[in-house]
Amino acid sequence: MSNEQILTLKAEAQRRPIGVFDSGVGGLTVLRELYRQLPNESIIYLADTARLPYGTRSAAEILQFSREIIIWMVQQQVKMLVLACNTTDALALSTLREEFNLPILGLILPGARFAVQKGSRLGVIATPATAASNAYRHAILEIEPTAEVWQVGCPEFVPLVEQNRLYDPYTTEVAQQYLAPLLEQRIDTLIYGCTHYPHLSPVLRELLPVHIQFVDPAEHVVAATAQELDLIGERNTFSPLPTRFCVSGCPQQFAKLSLQWLGFTPAVEKVCLPSVALASLESHSNQ
The catalytic site residues sit at 85, 194
- Please tell me whether residue 232 adopts helix, strand or coil conformation: coil
**Interacting stretch for ligand DGL, rule CB under 6 A, among 6-14, 193-201, 229-237, 254-262?**
193-201
Binding flag, residue 182, ligand DGL (CB under 6 A)? no
Binding flag, residue 63, ligand DGL (CB under 6 A)? no
**CB atoms closer than 10 angstroms to residue 43:** 21
Cα–Cα distance measured from residue 18 to residue 5, given in angstroms and rounded to the nearest whole number: 23
Burial category of 263 from C-beta neighbours within 10 Å (exposed 0-12, middle 13-18, buried 19 and up): exposed
CB of 105 to ligand DGL, least distance (A): 14
Binding flag, residue 82, ligand DGL (CB under 6 A)? no
| Residue nearer to ligand DGL on the CB measure, 47 or 234 | 47
The binder of ligand DGL chosen from 15, 18, 23, 124 (CB under 6 A): 23
User: How many residues of this chain interact with ligand DGL, rule: CB under 6 A?
Assistant: 16
| Residue nearer to ligand DGL on the CB measure, 47 or 80 | 47
The binder of ligand DGL chosen from 17, 19, 26, 111 (CB under 6 A): 26
Alpha helices of the chain — where are they, by DSSP H?
3-15, 28-37, 59-75, 86-99, 108-118, 128-133, 135-143, 157-162, 169-184, 201-207, 217-231, 251-262, 281-285
Binding flag, residue 53, ligand DGL (CB under 6 A)? yes
Residue 5, C-beta contacts closer than 8 angstroms, at least 6 positions apart: none
Cα 185–121–88 angle (5° rounding)? Answer: 100
Instruction: Report strand pairing: 244-247 vs 43-47.
Output: parallel
Backbone angles phi, psi at 122, to 5 degrees: -105, 125
Binding flag, residue 54, ligand DGL (CB under 6 A)? yes
Binding flag, residue 22, ligand DGL (CB under 6 A)? yes
Contact pattern from residue 93 through residue 132 relative to ligand DGL, giving x for each residue in contact according to CB under 6 A and a dash for the rest: ----------------------------------x--x--
- Binding residues (CB under 6 A) for ligand DGL: these are 22-23, 26, 52-55, 85-87, 127, 130, 158, 194-196
